[in-house]
A = this chain, B = another copy of it.
Amino acid sequence: MRTLKLTVAYDGTNYAGWQRQANAVAVQQVVEEAFAPLVGGVPPTIAGASRTDAGVHALGQVASVHVDFEFTPVAVQRALNVRLPADIRVVGVVDERPGFHARFHAAGKTYRYRIVTTPVVSPFERWFVWHAPWPRDVAAMRRAAEALVGRHDFSAFQPAGEPPRHAERTLRRLDIHEGNGGLTIEIEGDGFLRHMARTIVGTLDEIGAGSRPVESARELVGLADRRSAGRTAPAQGLTLVSVRYE
């Protein structure tokens, strides 16, 4: 058996997220089905590094799959892209060591969140941003971001009712760039709870808009109460940029 590592880009607009669903089309399923003809007809199971939510996009999702054919990586990439719809593209295929698992072995992920603050959203950006045209105190958002960087319990940033589990994560970087009619928030961490990236953005947004004090960011980490954090920013503004491996 060989283990292949795929890098996948997708426009998540029309998908129920990465992970296979019973009643909706997910990216994982579409990629698995594109594999079927290469492996004798039965779609293999593909493991994705990030279970991106419905509507979230990816520039560099990483997935692993076990196969026993002898096609070269380039031939696999070409065969998959011929079968895949244009909103999903395999941008890289390489052989990995046996046992490599895209999710279990991921050492870090980088997400990017785009907020448009001008009154009008460009037609070319419309599926890839959150349109939130209110004034913000970006300096306050940056101070709050500093308080979130580091190793913390991020329980407050996952959905209410999430099964209790180890919720310590290390946020390595949380940068806020101003420009092009809005804000771009880059979030890098060793791992992310469900909705964590989007709830960080929603919380920073409330702080920027003045409806939540800057200090609340520091108070939220370590707090187990989901109701304390800000709202979850819309999925369509979020893009999984890359996954890091040791």
Contacts and interface: CB of A to CB of B under 8 A. Distances in A.
A9 B123 contact: yes
A81 interface: yes
A124 interface: yes
A120 interface: yes
A124 B57 contact: yes
A123 B81 contact: no
A242 to B, nearest CB: 14
21 contacts: A9-B122, A9-B123, A10-B123, A11-B123, A11-B124, A11-B126, A57-B123, A57-B124, A77-B119, A77-B120, A81-B120, A86-B126, A87-B123, A87-B126, A88-B123, A89-B120, A89-B121, A89-B122, A89-B123, A90-B120, A124-B128
A147 interface: no
Contacts of A121: 86, 89
A78 interface: yes
A235 B119 CA distance: 29
A91 interface: yes
A89 B125 CA distance: 11
